[in-house]
Structure 1
């Protein structure tokens, strides 16, 4: 089967598998235990923490490991909100991952007021847009770095500088951009960042948060001892070692992979245009874009039908974020950039990986061409 759903998840790399196996064998101890076996696990954990910090140009004391991107988002948001607990206004975007969007909806039931920015026609949120809506009681701004459905990148450095100057805590979800884009926490200037392992060929169930070490935060649950009080629960040292190994390997080859993804993206768009197919590529000429994610509209055809037909032909794509799979409502991302409900349901997402080939793309285009010519307007 041709797998083109890498924005959803990636297979573990050989180096990540080897690192997990090695750590699981030799550092199975609890990193918080005081005996030598625990101490050995603690050393490996610290080595992983130091490596991760170096790769994002941060400090090791700001790195906290979690169970994945969703938990990273939730812990980061609530930790920052607790800094100014008397303030009740939050700024976010309509493009956020469902883990953030759902949590913000919950917070509105607890008395918070949330402003959701819509962005422009490409889905871009500018620093000026953020500045216009912040208030004297704004407790937090959370804007994702890269969108998981249409791949648009946000100007995090500009937004980060604005909010740092105004002393407003800023969180950015970097789950989709880790490894694909250069993440420099010194330049981006956010207060907190969220990351996930399984988007960079590491294991599922592992993630991390980076919090600016100059911020004075308190544990969400008093008495928490693991991860310096940031997260309760025994730390998964083998999973963390595997995560950091996968990330480092991907990071070291990121320029090669970026060129590879860009080439495949250009090939796909070229073939769609050449064959004059009834398909719209979202942000086809946008440069502020993750090259491995392509969102397309199957004009006059429901996206779920197209996805199932592609699956029947041996090609795996998606109709958006896997965390929303099965939901009937259209993506807020698509609605926010101007598509109505009917058009938004014609969406599918294609996402490349490091082993995706030109032949895979040409096969995909051929199958899409068959679908669009044989459907005769079916939806």
Structure 2
């Protein structure tokens, strides 16, 4: 049996979410855009899902658009906001360690004549506010900084960023995929003009997510003439997935227990330190800026990709960072942005815990990592 430590990449689908998915597939199969009664029944459920999710997030339902996940949401958000403000200026700023979807969206905008500045993280994995401040010009129209880093779990200072932007007529987007369900977002959703969340990070079905854009902005859709999601997205909505997503969101937000994850983190790092003290580097922020369920580290002298495969061979699933860039030979964007050397960056692994992770599993993983290190070291001598 595999022991899974990659919950930041994806989670199993919650049983109740799956049940709702099936029920909606069987009973609400009409197209919500159809005008007959079967379509109307589906439309009513879609509206209810939108209102329920909006209430959880503390935002108006009119600003919620359902998407296929975080990647599509980020594409739609950054391009839509940038295009809607291009008369103000064609300069956008993103964090250097953003999800790959925001880097690709920024590249798309560069091809359209926008200039892009990527602001690095400091040595603790937090956005460098001084560098962000220095990057702003009269032409800056959009800033995009993710709420929680998906590779090391640091929580970015959205309040400080908002204070910096609020008097400058600059739109603020945040990728909240990794913070949704782990932090009460109602404190943060009012700070931003748009944000994205995803279903499969919180025990919901894959292929579903949501983008919020403040309806008071009155921005136009990226592609005109689309008939679904108030014109913001083409294609018939995935109503079973949306219902499963909202169901999972409700139960996960209520059940997230920080103490469970803090205990797992403490146990794992204590065990690792007992066996590999001075032989690994832990990448984390100060306590109040760190989500406990994500651990980013590098074991000295062992390439992360090889270590991940060795763990897999022994029944333990870990990762080398964001699943959306897995398989690429580049080092982690997060570590690159933090100024970590290429050699140290190649050693990076990510461990992420879920609600079903048990203490003994965390202990076993720490023991396995030290055993692999010992075997690797002896093979070299």
Q: Is the 8 A contact 2:57 2:189 kept in 1?
A: no
Match of 2:180 among 174, 178, 186: 178
Distance 1:53 1:192 in 2: 13
Q: Which has the higher mean CA deviation after the structures are superposed, 350-359 or 185-194?
A: 185-194
Match of 1:75 in 2: 76
Q: Residues 297 and 350 of structure 2 are in contact (CA less than 8 Å); yes or no, is this contact kept in structure 1? A: yes
Instruction: Point out the more displaced range, 347-356 or 287-296.
Output: 287-296
The two structures have a TM-score, normalised by structure 2, of 0.95
Q: Distance in 1 between matches of 2:214 and 2:128?
A: 23
How far 1:332 sits from its partner (Å)?
2.2
Cross-structure match for 1:241: 243
The question of 1:339 aligning with 2:340 is answered yes
How does 1:26-41 map onto structure 2 within 5 Å? 26-41=27-42
Give the structure 2 partner of residue 281 of structure 1. 282
Given the superposition, is the C-alpha separation of residues 197 and 47 from structure 1 closer, same or farther in structure 2, using an over 3 Å criterion? same
Alignment of 1:12-27 (within 5 A): 12-27=13-28
Q: How does 1:178-197 map to 2 (within 5 A)?
A: 178-184=180-186, 188-197=190-199
- Could you say which residue in structure 2 is the equivalent of 1:93? 95
Distance 2:357 2:101 in 1: 28
Q: 1:378 to 1:206 in 2, by over 3 A?
A: farther
SS at match of 1:114: strand
Distance apart, 1:272 and its partner CA: 1.5
What are the ranges of 5 or more consecutive residues in structure 1 without an aligned counterpart? none
Q: Is the 8 A contact 2:172 2:192 kept in 1?
A: yes
RMSD, matched Cα: 1.6
The aligned counterpart of 1:50 is 51
Unpaired segments ≥5 residues, structure 2: none
Deviations 1:52-81 (A, max 9, x none): 001111111111000111000000111111
Indicate the residue corresponding to 2:106 in structure 1: 104
1:204 match: secondary structure: coil
Aligned residues: 377
Moved over 4 A (4+): 185-188
Match of residue 62 from structure 1: 63
Change (3 A) 1:228 1:377: farther
2: CA distance between counterparts of 1:279 and 1:332?
Answer: 19
TM-score by structure 1 length?
0.96
